[in-house]
Amino acid sequence: MTDSADRPNQPIHTSGATPAGAAPVMAPSLPTKPPRNQWWDVWDQFKTHKGALFGLGFFIFALLFVTIGPLIWTLDPTYIDVRARNTGPSWDHPMGADQLGRDTLARMMMGGQTSIAVGLTAMLLALVLGTLIGVLAGYFKWLDGPLMRLTDLFLALPLLPLLLVIIMLFRDQLRSAFGPEGGIFVLIVVVIGVTSWMQTARVVRGDVLALKEREFVLAAKSIGTPSTRMITRHILPNVMSPIMVSATLGIANAIITESALSFLGLGFPSDFPTWGRLLFDATEWLQRNPERVIWPGLAISLTVLSVNYIGDGLRDALDPRIRGR
């Protein structure tokens, strides 16, 4: 019997066989992480855009100002304090009072509710119309020509004169149907929404045309997927990024348009404040009380600027080429 040291070196065979009676040795398994949600990646990229963070913060502040503010500052915006007419900022009226003695801070909160509500509602209407027309034009070739010519027609129309004509024609009918405030709200929302969908439609159409040539869409078509399911399951989820960017920019456009109409005296009634209406009413007292113009002007400018910054941040965050850097 020879010693094991005298044996020649033999190759070690690593096979799956184990000695009889021995338990098999299992390879250690590495801990697996749950898949990271892609929206966390979007948020991480969004946070790197300082302007977008400022815009988000100010827009949240504006929403809290017009929703929670009236619960804290409970003064009635229609209450008339004759002794405080055309006064500047004071403890009783931090933003001053108008020519009738109504508190400007309370009216700013009430006006902000109307302006932001018009912006959000008109944006939703424009987004639905633009997405519908863009998807139909991009997916169905026989609809592309007529729908895009319709889009070009709306883009060629002078919007402000068109808005003025529509409001003058339908204002009285809608007031009698929905009331003075409700009728004007419906009219302005519909007018702004119907004249603001064109940019969204063109952007969505371009993305749908590119998606139609992707492999997963061609594979779904090859197995006979219906067009309705194809659009809702495969097309719409992949065009959400331009839709979300268009939504933020649509809010800013709607607020500006409503403010312009109110400034021209064609918006809500004078006793129903919006930021544009407050700005219009304050122009007659510009030399005596300039702060009455500053407050609604700042509110409109900063809200629109914040929404535009949010749109820029979303555009960068939803772009996978930028998010992967």
The CA-based angle 311-266-196, given to 5 degrees, is 30
Confidence of residue 36 (pLDDT cuts 50, 70, 90): low
- To the nearest whole number, what is the mean pLDDT of the chain? 81
Residue 237: its pLDDT value, please? 81
Confidence of residue 34 (pLDDT cuts 50, 70, 90): low
Express each pLDDT in 182-236 by its tens digit: 888 888 888 888 888 998 899 899 889 888 888 888 888 888 888 888 888 888 8
> Do the Cβ atoms of 318 and 244 come closer than 8 Å?
yes
Other beta carbons within 10 angstroms of residue 154's beta carbon come to 15
Contact (CB, 8 A) for 282 and 95? no
CATH class of 111-325: mainly alpha
pLDDT at 169 over 50: yes
Tens digits of residue pLDDT in 45-97:
778 888 889 999 999 999 999 999 999 988 888 888 888 888 888 888 888 88
Question: Given a cut of 80, is residue 154 above it in pLDDT?
Answer: yes
Instruction: Reduce the secondary structure of 3-18 to three states and give it as a string.
Output: CHHHCCCCCCCCCCCC
Q: With beta carbons less than 8 A apart as the criterion, state whether 118 and 188 touch.
A: yes
Indicate the domain borders of the chain: 111-325
Does the pLDDT at position 109 exceed 90? Answer: yes
